[in-house]
Amino acid sequence: MSLPLANPGPTQADLNEEEIRTPLQTAVRRFLKNKLAVFGLVLVILMVIIAIFAPSLAPMSPYTSYPDGTTMQGLPLNPTWHWLHFFLGTDSSGRDEMSMLLYGTQVSMEVGFMATLITLLIGVAIGLVSGYVGGALDNVLMRITDVVLAFPLFLFVILLRSVVSHPTVATVYEVIGILGWAGIARITRGQTLAARKLEYVESARAVGVRTPNILVKHIFPNIMGPIVVYGTLLIANNILLESALSFLSIGVPDPTVSWGKMINLGLSWYQTDPWLIVWPGIAIALATLGFNLLGDGLSDALNPRAGQ
Amino acid sequence: MASSAWKRWSMSVAGVAVLAMTAAVSVSGTAGASTAQVIHFSFSSNIETLDPTEWTDTTSMTPMQEIYDTLVEYDPYSSKIVPGLATYQVSKDGLTYTFTLKKGLKFSNGNPVTAQDVIYSINRVTRGDANSSGAAPYGFAYADIVGYNQWFNKGNPPPAGMTGMSGVTSPAANVVQIKLQTPEAFFLNVMALMSAVIVDPSVVQKYGQNYQLHAIGTGPYKLKSWNQGHQMILVPNTTSWRYRKGEAQQIVMDENVNPDLALLRYEQGDYAFLLGPLPSEVYAKILSSATLKSQYHNVTENGIVYLAFNETKAPFNNIYMRQAVNYAVNKQLLIKDITNGRAALMTQMLPPGIPGYNKSIKNPFPYNPTLAKSLLKKAGYHGQQINFIYPSNTSDHIRTAEIIQTELKAVGMNVTLQGTSQVGNYWPLEDNAKGNWNIAWTDWFQDYPDAQDFLYNLASTDACGATNVGCYNNSLFEQLVTDADALPVHDQAQRVIDYQQADKIAVQDAAWVYLYDEWNDDLVQPWMTPAAKGKNLMVYLHPILQPEYQMMNVKSH
Amino acid sequence: MGPYIIRRIFWTIVTIWAILTVTYFIAYLVPSDPARLIAGQHASAATLASIRRALGLNRPLWYRYLTFANQFIHGNLGYDYIMRRTVSGQVLQAAPLTFYLALVAVCFELIIGIPIGIVAAVKRYSFVDNLLRFISILGISMPTYWVGSMLLLLIGFKLGWLPLGGVSPAGVILPALSVGITGSAFYARILRSATLETMRMDYVRTARAKGAKESLILFKHTIRNSLIPVVTYLGLDLGALLGGLIVTEYIFNWSGLGFLLNQAIGQDDGSLIMGVTLFSASGIVIMNFVVDLAYAFLDPRVSYS
C-alpha cells in the first residue's frame, strides 16, 4: 500500500490574493476556491451518508443468498438495471451486488475513521509529550518511534491480524491503529517543539500556567492543522489498508460485507463476470479519492506556502 | 469522473506495456522443446512430497503414481486390484498374504528390487525413518500387521535391536509374507496406497531428509527436475517394467497455478488437462463455450461432503437437534449453488461407488424448515450460540457456510461462523483454541474403495477426535462395523450386509448432516487419447487413481 | 562521519532485534501444531507428545525464543513442517523474484511519474497541471490489487497481449505496472515541487538571463537537480513498495515473497509467516541503512549530528 503520507505538500499557490483576515477565514476561503477539494468534501459527505443510511438505501439484504439470485446452474446474474431486483447483478452466492456495495461503505468508513482515531490518539500523545517535555524522555520516545517507523506497516498488520483467531471489525481497526502511530508522533513532536518556542507559550510558562493547560490550550491549537491534514490522508490510507486485508481474506470476518472481500470473491470470475471486480473497485477508489482530495485541499488551505 | 481518468491511464499504460513487452520477448525466446510429446498441466497447490512416509494428498499422488509402484495396484481401466510388482496369494483365514516379486524388476538407478527392499519400505512407512519420532501420516493403515505395536512403540524410537515388524518376513528369495493380527478384507487396498510404494533403501539412506528431491522408483517415469513450489518435470524411465514405447517424452507439472489462469493456458493449448474438481468460475466458462463443453468429462466419485456435529457436548448430543439441522438445510440448493448441479444428493455415510452403499435409503431428510422448528422445540433449544467451523480457504466453502448459516438462522438457531484455514479437515476436540465448535464442515475422499475407509475411519470411537471429528458414537453401529472390518476378504457378501445395516443406523441417528457426494470433472484436450481402447474415460477420471498419464498418447497438435 | 555510521549501525541492529522479537512473539500465537502436521490426522495423543518432545516444543517459551534468535543470527529461519522444507530455503528462493519485480516496478514508477511531474511543473497552475494532479491523486486512491485485477482483465484477458500470471520474462510487466501506476503519483508530485523549487534557484535564473534555451535550462539545470529528492524517496519507498507487491504477487501468481506470505497465511503456517515477515522487514531496514549511508557519502549537505 502506498502511503500518501510522504506527500510533498500542497502545490496550489495563490499568494496574490492574501488579504487581512483571520487565519481560519482565509483557510475556508482558500478551501472553497479549490474545486477539487470541494469535490473531495462532497464525496466524503456522500460516503458518510451512505454508510449511515445503508440499511435504508439498500434495495435488498446484502447477506442473503437469494434463490433467484443465480442462474439455473447457480452462476452469477448480469446487472438488471432494475433498482429493486439485482440492480448491478449478483455475486456467485446470489447476493445483490448493489446492496453489498452500499453496506460495504459502513466497514470502510468505520475502519477508516476508527483506525485513524486510534493512531492519532497514540501518536499525538507521544509526540506532544516528547516534544514538550524534551530531554531524556524525548530521546527514549523518539528512538522507539524510529524503530516502530522502520517496521513495514502492512507486513506487521498482516502478521498481527493473522494470529487473531476470532476477529471482529474492531480487530481490524485496532491492529491498523496500534501499529501506525509512529509517523504522526514524529510530526506532532516537530510541531510541538516549534510551538513551544512561540512567545506567548513561553510567557504562559513563565507565569506558571500548569503544563496540561499549556498543552491543551496553547500548544494543541497550534499543531491542529497538520494533524487534521495528516488524519484525513490517513483515513484514505486506512480504507485502502482494510480493503487490502479483506482482499487477502484476513480483513473483517464473515458475514460482514467489505469491498476488498467482494473483489477477492470476484477475482476468479473476471473471465465471465468482470463487473464483480469493477463495482467494488470503483467504490474503493471513490471513497479514497474523496479523503485524499479533501486532505490535499485542507493542506493547501491551512498552509499555503508548503510545497513552494 | 473516474472513468475519463481511467481511460487516460489505461491508454498510457497500454503504450508502456507494448514497449516493455517487445523488449521482454526479444530477450526471452520461449523454451524451444517440441510440444508434441509433452504432457503439460498444472495444480492449484503444491506438490507436497515424493516421500511415501509423508504422503497424504492427491496432488502428490500424480507424480508418485508415475515414479513408483506398489506390490498390487488398481487397474487403470477398472477399479479392480491387480498384481503390480508382485503376484499375491491370501490364506483361507485371511491372515497371511504372500507376495511374489516379478522377475527382473529394477529401480531407475539400475539397482534390482529385492524382498529386503519391500520389507524395508513397509517397515519405514509405518513409523517414518527408524530413528525419527515415529510419524508417517499413513502409518496407521498398517497397524494390523503382526508386530506393529512393538515396532511403532507409541511413537518413541523402536526398542534397541529391532529392525522391523515381526509379521513381515521373506521366507524365500523374491517372496514377502505379511501376517495380520486380524483378517482385513481391505488389506490389499492398503497395499495399493501411495504410502506402500517400494523405495530403494540405499537412496533413502543416502539423502535422508532430502530424499524426496532424489526420489527413485520402479515406475514408467523418473524425476528429472523439481523446482519445489514451481515445476516438476518427469521423463521416461526406460528400464521400468511398465515402460511403454509410445509414452510422452516429458510430463511437466506446474504448481500453484490459479484455476482461472490454468483455464486460459488450457485454451491456448499449453495445458493438456485441466484437472478437477473444477471450480464454479471455470465451469461457468465451460458452459459458455461449445468447444470447452465438448472436452468436458465428469464422474461421481467416492468423495463426500458433510457436516459433523460435536457430539461430546450439548446441544448436539441430542438427536432432535441433529435431526433439526438435517431438515433445516436445503441440500438441493447447496448442490445447485455450490457445485452448479455437479454433485449427487448424499443419502448416507457411504457414497454409491462403495460396496455396502444402501440403495434403500433415499433422501432421509428432505428440506423441511417447519419440521426443523418443531424438532428444536422438542429438544428444548432456546437460542444457545452454535459455533459453525469451516475452512475459509475457498469462496465455495465460505459460501456454503453462509448459506447454511442463513438456513439455520431461519429456523431460529443462533449460528456464528468461524472460518479457519486448516490443513486437512480435522477439527481437534482436545485443542482448546479450536475445540469450541458445535458443527464442522467436513469432507472425505476415499483412500481406497472399501466401506471400512468411511465407516470405521469417520465414525468409529477409535477415530474419535481425529477423523471421527465430532465423536459420533453408537455401540450397535460400532459392533457392525468392527465385525465387518475383521471378516476375511472371502466374506465380502456378509461384509456388505453389515455395512448396509450400519449405514442405516447412522442415518437414523442423524449422525451427520448428509450434504452431497462429489463429482470429479476434467477438461481434456482432444489430442490426448488413451493408449488402449475401451473404457477410455477411466484413464482420465479414475475413481481411485489420478489420471494415468503413462497410458495416454499425445497426438501432434 | 565515523560516529554517525556507528550510530546508524547500532540502531539498525536494535531495529532488527525489535522486529525479530515482535515477530516471534506474534507468530507464536498462530494456532498451528507442528506435531500434528508431521503425524497427520490419525495420530494419537501419545505420538503427538513424543514428537513435541523431539522438536523441543515442550521447552519454555524464553528458551525457544533464544534458540530461534540464535538460529536467526546464523541465517537459519527454522523448519517449515507444513511445506516440509526449510523456511530459509523457501524465502531465498522467492526473494530474487520479488526483488526483480520490485526493480521493474520502480522503473515503471519512474517512467510514469517523472514525465508527469515535469509536465506539471512546466505547465504549473494551468488546467493541465490540475488535471495531472487529479490523476495523481486518483492513482494513489486506487487499490494496487484492483489496478492489477483491471490490467489482468483488460490487457491480459480482453486484449491478450501479456501473460495473465506466472513467472516469465513478459509476466513481470503487468504486476510491475500495477504497482508502478499507483506508486508513480508520489514521484510525480515530489518531482513537481522539487522542479518548481529549483526553477527559482539563482543559477537557473542566471542561465535564463543569459538567454539559454528554455529546453536546455529545463533538462540541463533544473531536472537534474530536482531528481535528488526522488532518489531519496526511492529508499523510503521500500516498505510501501513491498506492501503493494504482496497483493500484486497474489493476483499474478508471481511466486515471490508476497505470494509465499499469502500461501503461508492460507495454511496458518506460523513458521513461514514469521520467516517471510522477518526476512522482508530486516531486508527493508538494511536497505534503508544502505541508502542512508550512500546518501551521506554522496550528499555533503547531510548533517551527521
What are A269-283's pLDDT values in tens digits? 888 888 899 999 999
Chains A & C: contacts with CB separation below 8 Å:
179
Residue C305 has pLDDT above 90, yes or no: no
Interface membership of C141 toward B (CB under 8 Å)? no
Cα dist from A100 to A95, A210, B304, whole Å = 8, 52, 32
DSSP state of B211: G
- Nearest Cα of chain B lies from the Cα of A116 at a distance, in angstroms, of 26
8 Å CB contact between C15 and A150: yes
Cis peptide before B369 (omega within 30 of 0): no
Is the N-terminal amide bond of B488 cis, ω within 30° of 0? no
C-alpha cell at B466: 481425529
Collect all residues of chain B within an 8 Å Cβ-Cβ radius of residue C111. Answer: 16
Name the residue facing B24 among C84, C166, C170 (closest C-beta).
C170
DSSP at A253: P
Residue B7 pLDDT = 35
Residues of B in contact with A76 (CB under 8 A): 284
Q: State the smallest CA–CA distance between residue A150 and chain C in angstroms.
A: 6
Q: Does A178 touch chain C (CB under 8 A)?
A: no
Tell me how far CA of residue A99 lies from CA of A87, A256, A267, A275, in angstroms.
Answer: 9, 12, 19, 15
pLDDT at A98: 92
Longest pairwise C-alpha distance within chain C: 89
- Subunit contact C39:B8, Cβ cutoff 8 A: no
Cα separation values, C276 from A231, A233, A297, C268, C280, Å: 30, 29, 39, 13, 6
CA–CA separation, C193 vs C215, rounded Å?
A: 18
C-alpha cell at B255: 504448481
Q: What pairs with residue B444 in β-bridges?
A: B304
Could you list the beta-strand ranges (E) of B173-294.
175-179, 221-227, 231-236, 250-254, 273-274
Q: How many angstroms separate the CA atoms of B42 and B349, rounded?
A: 32
Q: Do C253 and B258 touch (CB under 8 A)?
A: yes
C-alpha atoms less than 13 angstroms from C-alpha of C175 in its C-beta half-sphere: 36
| Mean pLDDT, rounded, for C143-160 | 86
Total H helices, total E strands in chain A:
12, 0
Cell (9 digits) for A128: 506532544
Q: Which chains form contacts with chain C, at 3 or more CB pairs under 8 Å?
A: A, B
- With a CB-CB cutoff of 8 Å, which residues 35-54 of chain A face chain C? 36
Give the closest-approach CA distance of A217 to chain B in angstroms: 43
Q: Which of C38, C168, A113 is nearest to B25 (CA)?
A: C168
B230 touches chain C (CB under 8 A): yes
Query: Residue B101: which residues within 8 A CB-CB, separation 6 or more?
Result: B85, B86, B113, B114, B115, B118, B174, B175, B176
In angstroms, the CA C58 to CA A33 distance is 67
Is the CB of B2 less than 8 angstroms away from the CB of A70?
no
Peptide bond into B355 cis (omega under 30): no
* Cβ-nearest to C154 among B10, B48, B133: B10
Comparing CA positions, the residue from B147, B127, B148, B124 lying closest to residue B137 is B127
A271 interfacial to chain C (CB closer than 8 Å): yes
The verdict on B14 touching C (C-beta cutoff 8 Å) is: yes
Q: Residue C255: is its pLDDT beyond 90?
A: no
When CB atoms are compared, the residue of B260, B287, B418 closest to A268 is B260
- Determine the distance in angstroms separating the CA of C133 from the nearest CA of chain B, rounded to an integer: 11
- Asked if B135 and C40 come within 8 Å (Cβ–Cβ), the reply is yes
B 242-271 residues inside an 8 A Cβ radius of C: 254, 256-258, 261, 264
> Is residue B500 pLDDT above 70, yes or no?
yes
**Paired sense of beta strands B385-391 and B439-445, if any:** parallel
Place of cell 482461472: B260
CB contact (8 A) between residue A74 and residue B337 = yes
CB contact under 8 A, A285 and C242: no
Q: B31 in contact with C at a CB cutoff of 8 Å?
A: no
Beta bridge mates, B236: B221
Q: What are the residues facing B420 on neighbouring strands?
A: B391
CB contact under 8 A, A93 and B2: no
Q: Report how far apart, in Å, the C-alpha atoms of B375 and of each of A232, B320, C146 are.
A: 54, 6, 47
pLDDT-based confidence at residue B18 (cuts at 50, 70, 90): very low
**Contacts A265 to C, Cβ<8 Å:** none
Confidence of residue B422 (pLDDT cuts 50, 70, 90): low
Q: Which residues of B touch A288 (CB under 8 A)?
A: none
Question: Does position B202 have pLDDT exceeding 90, yes or no?
Answer: yes
Q: Which residue of B has its CA nearest to A247?
A: B395
Q: Considering only CB atoms, which chain A residues are within 8 Å of C246?
A: 154-155, 158, 248
The whole-angstrom separation of Cα B40 and Cα B451 is 35
Interface probe for C, chosen from B60, B282, B423 (most Cβ of C below 10 Å), is B423
Query: What is the set of domains in chain B, with CATH numbers?
Result: 69-201 (3.90.76.10), 300-518 (3.10.105.10)
Give C167's contacts in chain B (Cβ within 8 Å).
Answer: 230
Pick the closest to residue B219 from B205, B199, B204, B202 (CA basis).
B199
Would you call B426 an interface residue with chain C, using a CB distance cutoff of 8 Å?
Answer: yes
Please tell me the predicted confidence (pLDDT) of residue C31. 59
Residues 77-106 of B with CB under 8 A from C: none
The pLDDT score that the predictor gives to residue B3 is: 35
Q: Which of C46, C108, C138 sits opposite B154 (nearest CB)?
A: C46
Using CB atoms, which residue from B155, B228, B393 is nearest to C266? B393
Q: Write the pLDDT tens digit of every residue in B39-63.
A: 999 998 888 889 998 888 888 999 9
Q: How confident is the model at residue C47 (pLDDT cuts 50, 70, 90)?
A: confident
DSSP letters for A92-133:
TTS-BHHHHHHHHHHHHHHHHHHHHHHHHHHHHHHHHHHHHH
Interface B–C counts its CB contacts (< 8 A) at 145
The residues, ordered by sequence, that sit 6+ positions from C95 with a Cβ below 8 Å of its Cβ are C256, C257, C279, C283
CA C265 to chain centre: 19
| Among C residues 47-66, those touching chain B with beta carbons less than 8 Å apart | 47-51, 53-55
pTM for the whole thing?
0.79
Q: Which of A272, A278, A286, A288 to mutate to test the interface with B (most CBs of B within 10 A)?
A: A272
Do A292 and C244 lie within an 8 Å CB cutoff? no
Q: What is the pLDDT of residue C42?
A: 61
Quote the pLDDT of residue C40: 63
pLDDT in tens, B165-201: 999 999 998 999 999 998 888 899 999 999 999 999 9
- The count of other CB atoms within 10 Å of the CB of residue C257 is 30
| A residues 67..126 contacting C (CB < 8 A) | none
* Predicted confidence band of residue B459 (pLDDT cuts 50, 70, 90): very high
Q: With an 8 Å Cβ cutoff, are B340 and A286 in contact?
A: no
Whether residue C44 and residue B155 make contact (CB cut-off 8 A), yes or no, is: yes
Q: How far apart are CA B152 and CA B140, in angstroms?
A: 10
Q: Which residues pair with B252 in a beta bridge?
A: B40, B233
Instruction: Round to whole Å and give the CA distance between B98 and C81.
Output: 37
For each of chain A's 308 residues, which pLDDT tens digit applies? 334 433 343 444 444 444 456 777 878 888 888 888 899 999 999 999 999 999 988 888 888 878 788 888 878 888 888 777 888 999 888 889 999 999 999 999 999 999 999 999 999 999 988 988 888 898 899 888 888 887 888 888 888 887 777 788 988 899 899 888 988 998 889 888 888 888 878 888 888 888 888 888 888 887 888 888 889 999 999 999 999 999 988 888 877 899 999 998 888 888 888 889 999 999 999 999 999 999 888 887 886 554 43
Q: Which 216-255 residues of chain A touch chain C by CB within 8 A? A: 236, 240, 243-244, 247-250
